[in-house]
Structure 1
Amino acid sequence: MRSGNPALNANTFDQFHEMSSADSTQMTIRGTANKTMILLGLAIGTACLTWSQVAQGNMASAMPWMIGGAISGFVLALIISFKADWAPVLAPLYALAEGLFLGGISAVIDAQYPGVALQAIGLTFGTMFTLLIAYQSGLIRATENFKLGVFAATGGIALVYLTSIVLGFFGMSVPLIHSAGPWGIAFSAFVVVIAAMNLVLDFDFIEQAAKNGAPKSAEWYGAFGLMVTLVWLYIEILRLLAKLNSRD
């Protein structure tokens, strides 16, 4: 199995096999969906905290929470990616941390372009449910060529972002990423599409893991993988909407 999401790879659920004897029940798609909803609820809860601080003009108070959430979320994601069996404990912490960052950054952008945060939320979940229906109906199939293409595109995007970060240390930037011009918007739209396609790979990966008898505890890792993709998709949609609104 292959997924463009770095949190989900062919060896991920192998880490749970040693726990199978102690875990009498098996992973299910419904169970993974329920745990995904729990993670989303936790993220929304902490997002409301930083959102309200920014909305009330307390940017100085919100900033430490936002930065701390971003760093903590990144570190926790790395740990879970290498220690999948820790997901039942760390995935909720990841959701709480990401919520702190997302709530603050959403409020900042929404203050500049009123309404974009709500639009981004609607588009993110609308995309997820649309792709889920398309996947379940067979309209979209995660073939090997499809997986390879999305995996390669995801890696290319990661390389562009990494290059931008490195150049930033030297006072330079990649205009393609930040520009609100036609090419900048086209790039953001492309990234949104690739992020959305990663959801299809995640659906397929979780389905195959459930069919292959992964233990119940693996549901938390599957939910974490979906959260990683949803966070990425939401941020990219928010960036795209901000670029579009800045041209008005």
Structure 2
Amino acid sequence: MNLTKSSNPAFGKAVFERAQVGVQEDRMTIEGTVNKTGLMLLILVFAALFTWRKFFGAYDFSSPENAFSVVGPWILGGGIGGFITAIITVFSPRRSAITAPIYAVFEGLFLGGISAFFEAMYPGLVIRAVALTFGVFFILLFLYRSGKIRATGKFRMGILAATGGIALIYFVSFIASFFGASFNFLYGNSTLGIGFSLVVVVIAALNLILDFDFIERGASSGAPKFMEWYGAFGLMVTLVWLYLEILRLLSKLASRD
């Protein structure tokens, strides 16, 4: 089965090679993947509401650290749990019907707490980030379905290289922080910092094109039915990344006002 590469680590060619089954098994469809993506989004939203309400239930303008201490363990647990579940899903796609919804729960807990932090600092920021995330998603979906943007070989390699470069920068920054060094442009609101965040948002958004293409090719190539859950999981990985980067960009802009 000749499937193309994607810069989303959840959508590598080897995934479909590991997922091959007998000819009698039901096959993956785009409609089924869309339905499962919608279900995962609902799960994520409900989980996010839990940590969101927990944060603001303990939030006090005079002592905001109380809310931070209450919701902190949930954010940490959601982040670690989401990462572990994502790794398991990538290496065992057959389990994605179980692990993908669990991933949505963990990511919801993480995003709900993180979003509450930003909302407390900049009221109204989260709804704008959510609107922009889905706006970008539907615009790119329209452009892809209309054929205005296609995942050509050069396009894939360019996005793959850019995504890898961003991941390397974040990794080096994380390691450098243990030695007292900091990459201010990653977190500051300088022109360079805002420019970098804008570039990352664009790269994250363009990953959606590769994901759409990968799902379409999987369905047309007769991938097994359980890959609908895996396709939904991979798309969620990109959407979560895109939302976080948009949230970061908007917070930088808001801090300059």
TM-score, with length taken from structure 1: 0.97
Paired residue type of 2:208: L
Match of 1:228 in 2: 237
Taking structure 1 as reference, are residues 175 and 59 closer, same or farther at Cα in structure 2, changes over 3 Å only?
closer
Match of 1:49 in 2: 50
Equivalent of 1:4 in 7, 11, 14 = 7
Query: What whole-Å deviation, never above 9, does each CA across 1:189-222 have from its counterpart, x for those lacking one?
Result: 0000000000000000000010000011100000
Match of 1:243 in 2: 252
Note if contact 1:53-1:59 (Cα within 8 Å) is conserved in structure 2.
Answer: no
Query: What whole-Å deviation, never above 9, does each CA across 1:148-191 have from its counterpart, x for those lacking one?
Result: 00000000000000001101111211112112100000000000
1:85 offset after TM fit, Å? 1.5
Match of 1:14 in 2: 17
Aligned partner of residue 11 in structure 1, secondary structure: helix
Aligned partner of residue 173 in structure 1, secondary structure: coil
Match of 1:99 in 2: 108
Aligned partner of residue 135 in structure 1, secondary structure: helix
1:84 offset after TM fit, Å? 1.5
Note if contact 1:31-1:219 (Cα within 8 Å) is conserved in structure 2.
Answer: yes
Q: Tell me, yes or no, if structure 1 residue 204 matches structure 2 residue 213.
A: yes
Q: Tell me, yes or no, if structure 1 residue 192 matches structure 2 residue 201.
A: yes
Q: Tell me, yes or no, if structure 1 residue 150 matches structure 2 residue 159.
A: yes
CA–CA separation in structure 1 for the residues paired with 2:97 and 2:35 = 13
- Name the Cα RMSD after superposition: 1.0
Aligned partner of residue 195 in structure 1, secondary structure: helix
Equivalent of 1:120 in 109, 112, 129 = 129
Note if contact 1:28-1:210 (Cα within 8 Å) is conserved in structure 2.
Answer: yes
1:86 offset after TM fit, Å? 1.4
1:59 offset after TM fit, Å? 3.1
CA–CA separation in structure 2 for the residues paired with 1:246 and 1:61 = 25
Match of 2:64 in 1: none
1:133-144 correspondence to structure 2 within 5 Å: 133-144=142-153
Aligned partner of residue 7 in structure 1, secondary structure: helix
TM-score, with length taken from structure 2: 0.94
- Stretches of structure 2 that go unaligned for 5 or more consecutive residues are 60-66
1:21 offset after TM fit, Å? 4.4
The 10-residue stretch of structure 1 (81-90 or 154-163) with the greater mean CA deviation from structure 2: 81-90
1:16 offset after TM fit, Å? 1.6
1:41 offset after TM fit, Å? 0.6
CA–CA separation in structure 2 for the residues paired with 1:223 and 1:150 = 20
Q: Tell me, yes or no, if structure 1 residue 86 matches structure 2 residue 95.
A: yes
CA–CA separation in structure 2 for the residues paired with 1:189 and 1:142 = 22
